[in-house]
Structure 1
Amino acid sequence: MGEDFIFYIAAAWMTVLFCISVVLVISRRTPADRIQALDVLTLILIALLVLFSDSQSVPYYLDAALVLALLSFIATVAAARYYAGGKIF
């Protein structure tokens, strides 16, 4: 009961944080705030993937979490460069 209970509490908490992050992405006015909220959103999604991978003992979700982390980093850098100067490359 202990491990399952902790998993459900952590998954519920991450789901609440995910919903709050979605609201922040939609409600923020400046692009910098939206970029930051979207980065937090992907971080929470990565944490959910890792949590699910550990609870189900499926290592393939860790690969998906790693790919999502890399894509999130690239997207954040590209969005910040576009916001700062109008050019990505």
Structure 2
Amino acid sequence: MIAAALYFAFACFGLGLLFCLWRVVFGPNPADRILALDTMVINVIALLVLYGIAEGTAVYFEASMLVAMVGFVSTVAYCRFVLRGDIIE
């Protein structure tokens, strides 16, 4: 039963990634693209956690923490670039 739930969750988060990719490509303004990229990071984190549950190893949980940190920093940097035109003052 848990395998069916994992496959369903994989499909849902994969579909969410595709929708976010569509928003990144066809977003009307940069703010929508930034939000879509941030949501893609969250979906990738969820997929890594689900894969870690499916495999039964803790390595993927640590990888998801690294992706979360890098995703946060990249979102802040991209927002600063869009708002100010420069990342480092």
**C-alpha displacement of 1:42:** 0.9
TM normalised by structure 1 equals: 0.94
Find runs of 4+ consecutive structure 1 residues off by over 2 angstroms. Answer: none
**C-alpha displacement of 1:88:** 0.7
Aligned-residue sequence identity (percent) comes to 32
Equivalenced residue count is 88
TM normalised by structure 2 equals: 0.94
SS at match of 2:76: helix
Alignment of 1:1-89 (within 5 A): 2-89=1-88
Cα deviation digits, residues 49-82 of structure 1 (max 9, x gap)? 0011011111111111111100000001001111
Cα deviation digits, residues 14-53 of structure 1 (max 9, x gap)? 1111111111111103111111100001100100000110
Structure 2 unaligned spans of 5+: none
